[in-house]
């Protein structure tokens, strides 16, 4: 597998009080991960020497969605991938709230 530019991100998302992971691609249409051969029957596998056209869905996202993000996060040493500062409080239950968000915005 060839490395692509850093368009691929693992995201930690709080949605309705639950922590979820996701994998996203922010590449433009002409990025290597979004190019495919023009003929549909050639799109299962191709080499860098073959002509491709832009605008396809990202193959990295397709791969990760095919096996699930849990099974994709292997082969990496056990380390903290991200550490988010939080406040913690107790009001009829433990509440963790992020202090800062990934886009630099301060949590309300
Ligand atoms: Zn991509």
3-state secondary structure the chain: CCCCCCCEEEEEEEECCEEEEEEEECCCCCCHHHCECCCHHHCCCCCCCCCCECCCCCHHHHHHHHHCHHHHCCCCCCCCCCCCCEEEEECCCEEEEECECCCCCECC
Average pLDDT over all residues of the chain: 85
User: Residue 70 sits in which domain range?
Assistant: 8-78
Neighbours of ion ligand 1 (CB under 5 A): 7, 25, 27, 33, 58, 60
In a domain, 53, yes or no: yes
**Total domains present in the chain:** 1
Q: Is residue 101 part of a domain?
A: no
> Does some domain include residue 68?
yes
Is residue 108 a part of any domain in this protein? no
The predicted pLDDT at position 70 comes to 86
pTM: 0.72
In a domain, 59, yes or no: yes
Residue 97 placed within a domain: no
Confidence of residue 3 (pLDDT cuts 50, 70, 90): low
CA of 30 to the centre of ligand 1 (A): 10
The reply to whether 92 falls in a domain is no
């Amino acid at each position: 597998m060839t490395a692509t530019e850093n368009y691929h991100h693992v995201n930690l998302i709080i949605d309705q009080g639950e922590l979820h992971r996701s994998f996203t691609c922010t590449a433009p249409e002409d990025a290597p991960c979004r190019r495919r051969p023009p003929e549909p029957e050639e799109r299962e596998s191709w080499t860098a020497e073959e002509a491709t056209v832009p605008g396809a869905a990202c193959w990295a996202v397709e791969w990760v969605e095919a096996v699930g993000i849990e099974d994709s996060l292997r082969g990496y040493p056990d380390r903290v991938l991200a550490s988010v500062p939080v406040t913690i409080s107790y009001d009829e239950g433990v509440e963790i709230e992020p202090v800062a968000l990934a886009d630099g915005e301060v949590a309300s």
